[in-house]
Structure 1
Amino acid sequence: MKLKLFVTLTLVAACATAAALGGRGGATPTAQTYSDQLIRVQEVHAAKVVKLPSKPAVHRAPRRARVVTRATRSYRRPAPVYHFTGATHYGRASWYTGGYGACGHALRGYYAASRTLPCGTHVLVSYGGRSVVVTIEDRGPQSTLRDLDLSKSAFAALASTSKGVIWVHWRVQ
């Protein structure tokens, strides 16, 4: 019974759609080309359809395969000295937890994430008379409204984790 009802409703819907697309006398002509379909859409919806010009193909040089050796993977460049070393900055910080950071180390202790500071940089973070030294071990924060994402333990040393986001002073050591 349900199957008969479903088939009947499907046929009624198909006939109504065919009639709306310009079918006459129960027979609907099939659009053979893309242009025919555009014309039918224009007639049914009384709207003008503009065909976009096709983009020319972009030819790119093939990429070279990168050879990675054991020496390449184990080499770590020293962290560069940034122009803001020693300068005090003021910005927002939040907390997070994680397993491994983008710098390749397990995240333990007082660590932080920064979008611009290099991995291994030590940063003094201060809030409300309390200070902690964190090591940059990850990339982030994802939000551009924050400067640093601190580990939960580093954040808890500065303020209650229930605050979520705090305004801090921070300085590269």
Structure 2
Amino acid sequence: MQSFINIVLAIATTASLVSAAPAASIESRQSMTGDLTYYAPGLGACGVYNSESDSIAALSWQLFDQYTPGGNPNANTLCGRQIQINLGGKSTIVTVEDRCEACQLNDIDVPIAVFSQLADPTVGRTQMTWNWL
């Protein structure tokens, strides 16, 4: 019986490591550089409704799609992850809730309320750095 329990535990541990593998590869505290833009959120790719006052982010389709198991964006392992955006000595924390079709790899799209915390919205697009928390 003990052998059976050990085998089940080994399988469960291996399965959790395999399912966690994509997220583990983004755990780096390395700072990424990209453009910050803003958009009007609604129903996001993670299956959650958000408003322009929510502290959320849409990641580039290139990054987001790498972590979408079976093609279902609602099951994306990046959904709900937090990132810190840094710009001109200011920073804010946002939660990944959406996918940005027009963004390049390290770009981030946020609601205007978040953008306004970091930069003047009239610029429309500005370079920033960000990292996973």
The CA RMSD over aligned residues, in Å, is: 2.1
Q: Is the counterpart of residue 91 in structure 1 residue 34 in structure 2?
A: yes
How far 1:127 moved relative to its partner? Answer: 0.5
Give 5+ residue unaligned stretches, structure 1: 1-76
**Residue 89 (structure 2) aligned to one of 129, 132, 135:** 129
Q: Which amino acid aligns with 1:148?
A: I
Identity score, percent? 28
Distance 1:82 1:107 in 2: 27
**Matched residue of 1:139: which SS?**
strand
Which structure is richer in relative contact order (CA contacts within 8 A, separation 6 or more)? Answer: 2
How far 1:152 moved relative to its partner? Answer: 1.1
Q: Is the helix fraction higher in 1 or 2?
A: 2
Distance 2:81 2:25 in 1: 10
- Considering only CA atoms, is the larger Rg found in Structure 1 or Structure 2? 1
Distance 2:82 2:26 in 1: 15
Distance of aligned partners of 1:145 and 1:166 in 2 relative to their CA distance in 1, 3 Å threshold: farther
Tell me the number of residue pairs that the alignment of Structure 1 and Structure 2 aligns: 97
Distance 1:172 1:156 in 2: 21
How far 1:81 moved relative to its partner? Answer: 2.4
What's the counterpart of residue 71 of structure 2? none
Distance 2:28 2:50 in 1: 24
Q: Is the strand fraction higher in 1 or 2?
A: 2
User: What TM-score do the two structures reach when normalised by structure 2?
Assistant: 0.65
Q: How does 1:37-48 map to 2 (within 5 A)?
A: none
User: What TM-score do the two structures reach when normalised by structure 1?
Assistant: 0.51
How far 1:144 moved relative to its partner? Answer: 2.8
Judge conservation of contact 2:103–2:109 (CA < 8 Å) in 1: no
How far 1:120 moved relative to its partner? Answer: 1.1
Distance of aligned partners of 1:141 and 1:149 in 2 relative to their CA distance in 1, 3 Å threshold: farther
Give 5+ residue unaligned stretches, structure 2: 1-18, 65-77
Judge conservation of contact 2:33–2:106 (CA < 8 Å) in 1: no
What's the counterpart of residue 106 of structure 1? 49
Q: Which amino acid aligns with 1:100?
A: L
Q: Deviations over 1:78-130 (max 9, x none)?
A: 78223452111111110011211010111141111013251111010011111
